[in-house]
Amino acid sequence: MANPKSDFLRIVTERGFVHQCTDADGIDAETAKGPMPAYIGFDATATSLHAGSLLPIMLLRWLQKTGNKPIVLMGGGTTRVGDPSGKDESRKLLTDEQIADNIAGIKRVFAKFLTFGDGPTDAVMVNNDDWLRGLNYIDFLRDIGRHFTINRMLSFDSVKLRLDREQPLTFLEFNYMILQAYDFMELNKRVGCKMQMGGSDQWGNIVNGIELTRRVSGNEVFGLTVPLLTTSGGAKMGKTASGAIWLDGDQLSPYDYWQFWRNTDDADVGRFLRLFTDMDIAEIAKLEALEGSEINEAKKILAHEATSLLHGAAAAEAAAETARKTFDAGQIANDLPTVEIPRGDLEAGIGILDILNRAGLAASNGEARRLIKNGGARLNDEKIASDSMTVTLSDLMDEGVIKLSSGKKRHILVRPA
């Protein structure tokens, strides 16, 4: 829409969060009027979220910052069934206890981005297990199932594409969209939730929830989706050499998180600044316009802002300083990711292949050997020439550490313990 009256719609639109939405005027009016409760659903399949979830999290953040009420829906109930969307191996079913742990871990992440509480614009976290677990199949069919026609369900892309490609679609999966629609209806009933947001692949499910809510209660509710995020290189967002970009300091250090953002493609810098930081849009436009190597400054700012949001400004500063020492000054930064190795092992001497493995720079001796052969392995910044060398206490530098590197970017400090 041309000129949104509400802060919410104006901001998320100009920042590039909106892929598509239902009735923009309606959303605009509702969010302009006062606290509108809106929700996004998240899986509870892991103990932490990763960067792929950041986009919807930021959307909730803006929702709250513009005076509305974010609802975080944990898919505890649907996780209990097992998410069928994967292709081959069926998901290992999680125990209730694991799911509870996962939800607790995930909530810690949300607490960094949202303010939780009981106030009108405070975020709340709910679990669809609360209403899904007790469902009675026959009642559900009579009350909810009658609002869905197979004809229509078959027309949704998520279903149609599968059928067109002649891929199997289980009944469970076919029902998934109904459960999700039910979630929306239930949230509308319980807490007056008026909008569901989610990834663009959720559009069909969201629309179903809107229709179900209208049919059952007559209430008008809305939907909004965020774009599917890929880097301009076409890669899926949130992966790196060492694995997923976890939003949890124990699984991915603030330094590595900072590095992830620092290594953003030139072409993505402006887009990412708008999506993943709170920075002023005009300021971003200036940074985005930087040419050539100057864009590196914009990347550092992106890394700083994004890391500050998740890990705090102090951690972001420390990460920046570590990176500066490591890359610009050629010094040993003391808080690079560290691996501890028993002093006794070092006294006895550890084979270089072994220590590369232990530092997590290689997944097997073969990989370590390859790394050395290709000239990518370094010990205290000296190229490792032989795969038969031994690392001992005498390799400790003045700082009391041994620095191991794979390539130019991955550095690990080994500390005797």
Q: Return binding residues for L-tyrosine.
A: 39, 176, 180
Token look-up 């940074």 returns: 287
Nearest to RNA of 1, 363 (CB atom) = 363
Distance of closest approach, residue 48 Cβ to RNA, in angstroms:
21
- Determine the size of the site formed for RNA (CB under 7 A): 39
Exactly one of 141, 172, 228, 235 binds RNA (CB under 7 A); that residue is: 235
Which of 187, 180, 192, 205 is closest to 68 using CA atoms? 192
Between 104 and 241, CB nearer to RNA? 241
Decide: is 293 part of the binding site for RNA (CB under 7 A).
yes
Q: Which of 241, 313, 329, 348 binds RNA (CB under 7 A)?
A: 241
CB 251 within 8 A of CB 310: no
195 DSSP β-pair partners = 38, 222
Query: Counting contacts by CB under 7 A, is residue 263 touching RNA?
Result: yes
Q: By CB under 7 A, is residue 181 in contact with RNA?
A: no
- Does position 15 interact with RNA (CB under 7 A)? The reply is no
Cα 267 from Cα 288, distance rounded (Å): 9
CB-wise, 233 or 344, nearer to RNA? 233
Is the CB of residue 93 less than 8 Å from the CB of residue 82?
A: yes
Binding RNA (rule: CB under 7 A), the pick from 95, 374, 386, 394 is 374
Candidates 112-120, 191-199, 275-283, 290-298: pick the segment binding RNA (CB under 7 A). 290-298
Taking the complex as a whole, the smallest distance from the CB of residue 325 to RNA amounts, in Å, to: 10
For residue 186, the tally of other CB atoms under 10 A from its CB is 21
Q: Is 307 in the site for RNA (CB under 7 A)?
A: no
Nearest-5° Cα angle at 113, 111 to 114 = 65
Alpha helices in 219-289 (DSSP H): 254-262, 269-276, 281-288
Residue 116, CB-side half-sphere exposure with 13 Å CA sphere: 12
Minimal distance in Å, beta carbon 303 to RNA? 8
CA distances from 247 to 68, 90, 104, 256 (A): 24, 26, 14, 11
Interface residue with RNA, options 80, 107, 358, 369 (CB under 7 A): 369
Q: What is the 3-state secondary structure (H, E, C) of 97-138?
A: HHHHHHHHHHHHHHHHHCCECCCCCCEEEEECHHHHCCCCHH
Binders of RNA among residues 308 to 337 (CB under 7 A) are 323-324, 327
Tokens of 18: 């909106």
Closest to RNA by CB, 13 vs 365, is 365
The nearest distance, CB 112 to RNA, in angstroms, is 23
Using the contact rule CB under 7 A, the part of the chain among 143-151, 202-210, 305-313, 367-375 near RNA is: 367-375
Q: How far is CA 171 from CA 2, 164, 301, in A?
A: 42, 17, 48
Give yes or no for residue 406 binding RNA (CB under 7 A): yes
Contacting residues toward RNA, per CB under 7 A: 166-168, 233, 235, 240-241, 259, 262-267, 292-293, 295-296, 299, 323-324, 327, 353, 363-367, 369-371, 374-376, 406-410
